[in-house]
Amino acid sequence: MKKKPFITALQLVFMTSGSALVFPYTFMPILNTPPSNQDVWIVLIMTIAYMFLLNIPLLVITNNFRGLSFNETFEMILGKFFGKLMALFYVLFFAYCFTACMLIVSMFINLYLFPDTPTWGLLVTILIAVCYAAYNGAGTIGRLSTIFVPIIIFTIVTFFLMGLGKMDWGVLRPVLADSKFIDMNIGAFLTAARYSETIIFFLFAQYIDEKVNINKTYIRAVLTFAVNFMLILLPTILVLGIDFARIAWNPYYVYTRQVKALGFLERMQAINTLAWFPLALLKLSLYNYMASNVFSEIVGAKSHKSFVIPIAVLGFIVCLVPILDTSSTIELLRSDRIFPFVTLPVIFVFPLIIMIVFLIRKKKIKVMLKRRQQSAAGQ
């Protein structure tokens, strides 16, 4: 039996919320989802409700299969063949997220920081750190999250407070006058559909103490994400205005460029970049680790380690395909036309099917679980 790494509930909260914060921090898709106006902050509040709704099936499965790996859970519910097939879909999804995130990160660095550095140079730099963390596994990633995520939360709060003087709260008016209820729901749904971090919860739940309440930990993670998202969103729209924020590739970075303090503290965006970069590496490490971990279980390998570098190399090659490394392709990949619909099956549709099968076969599965627990106790 593989020795499982131990992670704490706090680390899980940091991992999921930190990973989820990379997208609003990087390109804030909520600004371009309907209704795409001053009511966007209300859409964010509604998003939380949708997130809870969409994540119910995954949470039910996570709660009922504590201590089991991703593959073991699927195989127990769906049988060996369909379990493996389902797990394979998730591997593809993790690889997609890994590659898409790498593309977005490299484009951001290229646009705002190092315009002359070739993409391959950026990717190699990123991948060295990512492979190291993913190779060392869940425990290392968990520990990294306790360093990186508090730093990012600190910078988010600091930039919010320092920008207070520049914020024009009138931007938020009129409230709920220009938005249709249906548009706001569509916007909230699409934003919630982008939140794929519950899978991190599902996969890493096997590594946390069985006494930890999964639901409470999940709520803490979602709230940590939502509060920080709000602290990113509000100053961005209040300082840049909705229309300009919508056309900027990285509106939050543009906001941080405006922050000055005490008459001499300028160019503070450097702090934002320093905090953001490790967070992006954390997200990439997580997705690389999840892809290699689940794939290793599918093929019955002893460890995920053999797959970390091949997955990274695969992502690296895909990122260098000329047609993919263009702003228009990245915009399409991350847009509401593609991204939520790639994520939605993985976070909601498949888990819903699995949950229904579980509920149908509940008695049989409970017996299997009991037997498994007894054999584990015997060992």
- DSSP letter at 5 equals P
Q: Figure out which of the listed residues 113, 167, 271, 369 binds another protein, where binding follows CB under 8 A.
A: 113
Q: Figure out which of the listed residues 53, 80, 114, 371 binds another protein, where binding follows CB under 8 A.
A: 114
C-alpha to C-alpha distance for 203 and 322, rounded to whole angstroms: 33
CB of 375 to another protein, least distance (A): 48
CB of 236 to another protein, least distance (A): 12
Q: Which residues have CB under 8 Å from 64's CB, separation 6+?
A: 358, 369
Return the range that interacts with another protein (CB under 8 A); candidates 100-108, 255-263, 319-327, 342-350.
255-263
Which residue lies nearer to another protein by CB, 244 or 341?
244
- DSSP state letters, 93-107: HHHHHHHHHHHHHHH
- Per CB under 8 A, does 322 bind another protein? no
Q: Which structure tokens are listed for 244?
A: 């300009």
Which residue lies nearer to another protein by CB, 181 or 341?
181
Return the range that interacts with another protein (CB under 8 A); candidates 80-88, 166-174, 215-223, 316-324.
166-174
C-alpha to C-alpha distance for 290 and 271, rounded to whole angstroms: 29
Residue whose token pair is 């939502």? 226
Q: Residues 172 to 191: which contact another protein by CB under 8 A?
A: 173-174, 177-178
Q: Figure out which of the listed residues 118, 150, 165, 310 binds another protein, where binding follows CB under 8 A.
A: 118
Q: Residues 83 to 112: which contact another protein by CB under 8 A?
A: 111-112
Q: Residues 359 to 378: which contact another protein by CB under 8 A?
A: none
Q: Which residues have CB under 8 Å from 29's CB, separation 6+?
A: 23, 191, 194, 334, 335, 336, 339
Q: Could you tell me what percentage of the chain is helix, strand and coil, using 3-state DSSP and rounding each to the nearest 5? A: 80, 0, 20
Q: Residues 232 to 251: which contact another protein by CB under 8 A?
A: 239-241, 243-244
Helix (H) or strand (E) holding 120: helix 119-136
Q: Which structure tokens are listed for 259?
A: 């922050």
Return the range that interacts with another protein (CB under 8 A); candidates 10-18, 117-125, 135-143, 334-342.
117-125
- Per CB under 8 A, does 132 bind another protein? no
Which residue lies nearer to another protein by CB, 255 or 289?
255
For the chain, the first-to-last Cα distance in angstroms comes to 10
Q: Figure out which of the listed residues 254, 271, 309, 342 binds another protein, where binding follows CB under 8 A.
A: 254
C-alpha to C-alpha distance for 307 and 312, rounded to whole angstroms: 8
Helices (H) and strands (E) in the chain, counts: 17, 0
- Per CB under 8 A, does 117 bind another protein? yes
Which residue lies nearer to another protein by CB, 53 or 111?
111
CA 270 to chain CA mean position, Å = 23
CB of 240 to another protein, least distance (A): 7
Contact residues for another protein (CB under 8 A)?
A: 111-118, 121, 125, 128, 170, 173-174, 177-178, 239-241, 243-244, 254, 257-258, 260, 263
